[in-house]
Chain A
Amino acid sequence: MTLLLAVTLVALQAPAQGVDPRLQRLDSITRPMVAALVDSARAAALPTEPLVQRALEGATKRAAGDRIVAAVRRLALDLGHARDALGITTSPPELTAAAAALRAGAPAATLTELRRIRRESLTVPLAVLTDLVSSGVPVDSAAAAVLSLAAKARDADLVEFRRAVERDVALGAPPASATAAAAAAFTTADVQVNAGARQQRPGRP
């Protein structure tokens, strides 16, 4: 109740910016609250597109207005923390992936370390970390494995690594050991995976 009140006050004070027309899909009570959150994010130089998409997801799923507002607010905070960990020139896709990783329980220090050791985009390693945790891998095992691979592995290798872990977990292996084993295998074998072909055919992503 207090959250709604606070957000309402912010909504009343928010400067009049052009409201994203897509937010018309929200009801008239929810729309200004979400618009205010989007404005605050923009003022803080955080990406706004993920916030709009989260609101639209809620609208399509016919979620209650306060759930939508809470979800958007939570994502905005996560994006801010992600930027604190990764720095202000981080790209929006990286920030989105980082926000999800933080929400999954990855420590901010892991993100900062990833940034230090990997030259390429962090989007895929962060996403892989998050997905592993979703599959039941303990967050420190997932973080350790991703960090061990991130310096040298290409995006496609990281995705393949994640698939290997999920396969093994589905076959009954304990998640932490499946992760460690797959990471070790990738490090020693220097696997070159032709994932390009997979992506061009219609198939499971």
Chain B
Amino acid sequence: MGIHSVGTSDVEAVRRVLGGDTDAYATLVARYRDRLARYAVHMLGNREDAEEALQDAFVRAYRSLERCDDAARFGAWLYGILVNRCRTTGARAAKRGRVFVRDEAALNGVAHASVAEQTEGEDVVRWALARLTPEYREAFLLKHVEDLEYEEMARVTGAGVSALKMRVKRAREQLQAILREAERV
């Protein structure tokens, strides 16, 4: 699948924004918001941080739009900015001691479901993701959830293709180990 912009529409919108039509940027925000949100939420583990990173990425992209060398690849370029933002936001959140937090409601007084149910549950997957090294999580999400080709991942992350392949492999191994461990508890 990869990151495919909707061809001329992105080019046209970028052209209009660069020409001074600020409102045209809203089209791009609406177009990419949910797709980028999915990556940010899984990467950072909570909605609040994800929305902060997302908003930040959109504003930065607008400010440096002239630097987008090829408007047809706007989506991929924007993606790269978001990946960077998530790295910064993630580092900041870690310093604040904020880890992956579930809903307050879910935390308060919910009886532990049986192991089998937990294994199926969303929370377990998110918890397992949280335990991955950030680099591995990033690579795993970009490859398996966002469906990027390795060449595109290399452009977006700045890492080499073989390094990325290794990270994805390690991520899969770690996830399997974590989830099996959860099953045994």
Direct A–B touching in the complex (beta carbon < 8 Å)?
yes
Using a CB–CB distance below 8 Å, which chain A residues touch chain B?
Answer: 42, 44-48, 83-84, 87-89, 91-92
Q: What are the 7 closest A-B residue pairs judged by CB atoms, nearest first?
A: A88-B80, A42-B70, A45-B155, A88-B158, A91-B67, A45-B69, A47-B69
Complex: chain A residue closest to B157, CB-CB = A88
Instruction: Determine whether the beta carbon of B80 is less than 8 Å from that of A89.
Output: yes
Q: Does B84 contact A (CB under 8 A)?
A: yes
Do A87 and B76 touch across chains, with their CB atoms under 8 A apart? no
For the complex with contacts A45-B69, A89-B64, 6 further pairs of A-B residues with Cβ separation under 8 Å are A45-B155, A47-B69, A88-B155, A88-B158, A91-B67, A92-B67
Looking at A46, A48, A88, A89, which has the most chain B CB atoms within 10 Å of its CB? A88
| A87, B64: Cβ atoms closer than 8 Å | no
Decide if A87 touches B69 in the complex (CB within 8 Å): no
Hey, which chain A residues are within 8 Å of B69, CB to CB?
A: 42, 45-48, 92
Q: Does B86 contact A (CB under 8 A)?
A: no
| A45, B77: Cβ atoms closer than 8 Å | yes
Q: Are A45 and B70 in contact (CB under 8 A)?
A: yes
A17 to B84, CA, bound (A): 30
Which residues of B125-162 are within 8 A (CB) of A? Answer: 155-156, 158
Instruction: Give min CB distance, A44 to chain B, whole Å.
Output: 6
In the complex where A45-B76, A45-B155 touch, is A88 in contact with B84 (Cβ < 8 A)? yes
Are B64 and A88 closer than 8 Å at their CB atoms?
no
Q: What's the Cα separation between A84 and B158 when bound, in Å?
A: 6
Residues in B neighbouring A87, C-beta threshold 8 A: 84, 158
B158 touches A44 (CB 8 A): no
Task: Give the interface centre of B67, B80, B81 by most chain A CB atoms within 10 Å.
Answer: B67
Let me know if B81 and A89 touch, CB within 8 A: yes
Which of chain B's residues has its CB closest to A83's CB? B158
Does residue B47 face the partner (Cβ distance < 8 Å to A)? no
- Residue of chain A at shortest CB distance from B68: A45
Shortest distance from the beta carbon of B112 to any chain A beta carbon, whole Å: 44
Cβ–Cβ contact A45 & B73, under 8 A = yes
Distance (whole angstroms) from the CB of B167 to the closest CB of chain A = 16
Bound-state CA distance A197–B67 (Å) is 30
Question: Contacts A45-B73, A45-B76, A45-B77 known; A89 to B158 CB distance under 8 Å?
Answer: no
